[in-house]
Chain A
Amino acid sequence: MKVGLFLGCNMPALRPDNEKAIRVSLESLGVEVVDLEGAACCPAYGTFWSADEEAALAVGAWNYSIAEKMGVDMVVQCGSCYSTLKMSRHKLINGKLQEINEKFLSKVGAKYEGKSDTKHITDFLYNTIGVDKIKSSLKYSMKGLKAVVQVPCHTIRPSKILGFDDPENPQVLKELTRALGAEVPTFTRDKQCCGGAGGYARNNRRAALEFLKLKLDSMKEEVDPDCIVVSCITCLMWMDEAQEEMRKLGMIDYSIPVFDYNQLLAICQGHDPQKVARIAATPRDEVIVKILENKI
């Protein structure tokens, strides 16, 4: 099976270890990962979507035209990229396709016919690969570890346009995490957004930090997890780095390691943690050591 890996901007720029984790863990599952030559920003909602929707659709169609030419669907981890790529496709195939092709893509010799699609990596892992295949690729287990999941908002809503899971009670990331052997308890603010995307943290940092603290306090008090599992670069960076900021500000006195799902998957598959989970503000070593003690 062949997929086009849509990198986006934040992951290669700031967390290349996360990109490494995605590439090697997919390869261990027998997936051929190809690079989308000439891909650009998705574009994010805070960019062209906020100034000129037609321009946003033109950029989205540009990205799709590359995947389509290569004969692949795109797989993406970043929630924001996933949402905007699905939104572009939805608006294109429901009326705008011909116009965007004529006005923009044809000017640069490109074309999108509406064939190529995008899948979020958790959808791909759960519904295309399946938990059985994931389980059989593991060399280590998260047995004995308690993990809570942060389901990225952008992968569940608007459900009519991009959904692949129950929008009010999403289970895919939980099931994927259980497949690694972890216990996945639930807590009061389980479904709360992390608050890291868009302009919140930039426009009102105090409020965005307090919003995240509500969620962290809830999980700490109710289940005291060993780690948080995310599958979105923004959730990852925000929940990891904002914790460090809050510790320095005296807002919290605890520390909950944050991993992207594919980082844990790659570690459980036996890949080098120094390569697949190198960058973090909140230390993750204890969790990694515990996984490596659990040889299957």
Chain B
Amino acid sequence: MPINLKEERDPELVKQIVEVGGEDLLKCYQCGTCIADCPTGIADEPLSVKRLIHIAKLGLAEVLIEDESPWMCVTCTGCEERCPRDARPFEIVLAIRRWQCLEDETYIPQTLTEIYERGHTQNVVNPMREELDLPEIKTVATREDLLEKFRQLLRETRVVKEHGYMFGIMEG
């Protein structure tokens, strides 16, 4: 999507991204090292942290909220290792995801509810365990009392408190 400079600017945008962990974004001098080695370079719309930072600095909130490329990140952290300004591009990717989740809750990953439900992203008790002579799983997946404690801990977090209904938590 091309950047349209006539678009409405939000001077608070950079500040908002800094607040959710993107504080090193201001160090970026747009060299492009972060995209040179990114696995998504051959994608239909590559993830360019450099470009995302530029959009944020211009205050183009409407453009940033529509951009799903941060969610394509492989999390390989090649950009984080090689950034000559130590702007921590990977942390900025995560910060932009968090900002998007705050602005539009449909960005909140469904897996959060899986983790709340069973402590894991999926069912970890594979029926093959017995055939392989594996010991019983001892994570929260099989320990109901500990799973309840784990859920209690999650209920103290902002994302669960603010979106209780997503996690099947009834108000009151």
Residues in A lying within 8 Å of B, measured CB to CB:
7, 9-10, 12-14, 16-17, 19-20, 23, 35-41, 43-55, 58-59, 62, 80, 83, 103-105, 107-110, 153-154, 157-159, 167, 193, 195-200, 203-204, 206-208, 210-211, 275, 278
CB-based contact B20/A53 at 8 Å: yes
| Cα separation A90 to B13 with both chains bound (whole Å) | 28
What B residues does A58 contact at CB under 8 A?
Answer: 153-154, 156-157
Pick the contact of B138: A14, A36, A47, A48 (CB < 8 A): A36
B91-119 with Cβ < 8 A to chain A: 94, 97-98, 101, 107-109, 111-112, 115, 119
CB-based contact A107/B124 at 8 Å: no
Closest to B135 in A: A35
A52-B158, A199-B71 known; A38 vs B140 contact (CB < 8 Å): yes
| Cα separation A104 to B6 with both chains bound (whole Å) | 45
CB-based contact A207/B97 at 8 Å: no
CB-based contact B153/A62 at 8 Å: yes
Chain A CB count within 10 A is highest, among B121, B139, B158, for B139
CB-based contact A193/B139 at 8 Å: no
Chain A CB count within 10 A is highest, among B39, B75, B133, B135, for B75
Closest to A200 in B: B74
What B residues does A49 contact at CB under 8 A?
Answer: 94
| Cα separation A37 to B120 with both chains bound (whole Å) | 14
Pick the contact of A108: B119, B129, B143, B153 (CB < 8 A): B153
What A residues does B119 contact at CB under 8 A?
Answer: 40-41
| Cα separation A76 to B155 with both chains bound (whole Å) | 27
B128 within 8 A of A: yes
CB-based contact A103/B77 at 8 Å: no
Pick the contact of A7: B97, B133, B137 (CB < 8 A): B137
CB-based contact A157/B80 at 8 Å: yes
Taking A38-B149, A157-B81, A200-B40 as given, write out 6 further A-B residue pairs in contact, using a Cβ cutoff of 8 Å, ordered by the A residue number: A41-B115, A48-B157, A52-B157, A62-B153, A158-B77, A158-B80
CB-based contact A44/B121 at 8 Å: yes
CB-based contact B74/A197 at 8 Å: yes
CB-based contact A104/B97 at 8 Å: no
Q: B164 → chain A, closest Cβ, in Å?
A: 14
| Cα separation A274 to B108 with both chains bound (whole Å) | 40
What B residues does A278 contact at CB under 8 A?
Answer: 128, 132
Pick the contact of A193: B42, B74, B90 (CB < 8 A): B74
CB-based contact B132/A48 at 8 Å: no
CB-based contact B115/A51 at 8 Å: no
CB-based contact A40/B115 at 8 Å: yes
A13-B126, A38-B150, A200-B74 known; A51 vs B40 contact (CB < 8 Å): no
| Cα separation A35 to B122 with both chains bound (whole Å) | 19
Q: B56 → chain A, closest Cβ, in Å?
A: 17
What A residues does B101 contact at CB under 8 A?
Answer: 50-52
B63 within 8 A of A: no
Sampled A-B contacts (11; CB under 8 Å):
A35-B135, A48-B159, A52-B159, A55-B158, A59-B154, A83-B75, A153-B76, A153-B77, A158-B77, A199-B74, A278-B132
Pick the contact of A55: B74, B81, B135, B157 (CB < 8 A): B157
Chain B CB count within 10 A is highest, among A9, A41, A51, A211, for A51
What B residues does A40 contact at CB under 8 A?
Answer: 115, 119-120, 139-140, 150
| Cα separation A9 to B158 with both chains bound (whole Å) | 24
CB-based contact A12/B76 at 8 Å: no
What A residues does B126 contact at CB under 8 A?
Answer: 12-14, 16
B152 within 8 A of A: yes
| Cα separation A71 to B124 with both chains bound (whole Å) | 25
What B residues does A199 contact at CB under 8 A?
Answer: 71-74
B43 within 8 A of A: yes
CB-based contact B153/A107 at 8 Å: yes
What A residues does B170 contact at CB under 8 A?
Answer: none
Q: B170 → chain A, closest Cβ, in Å?
A: 20
B4 within 8 A of A: no
Q: B78 → chain A, closest Cβ, in Å?
A: 7
| Cα separation A196 to B139 with both chains bound (whole Å) | 25
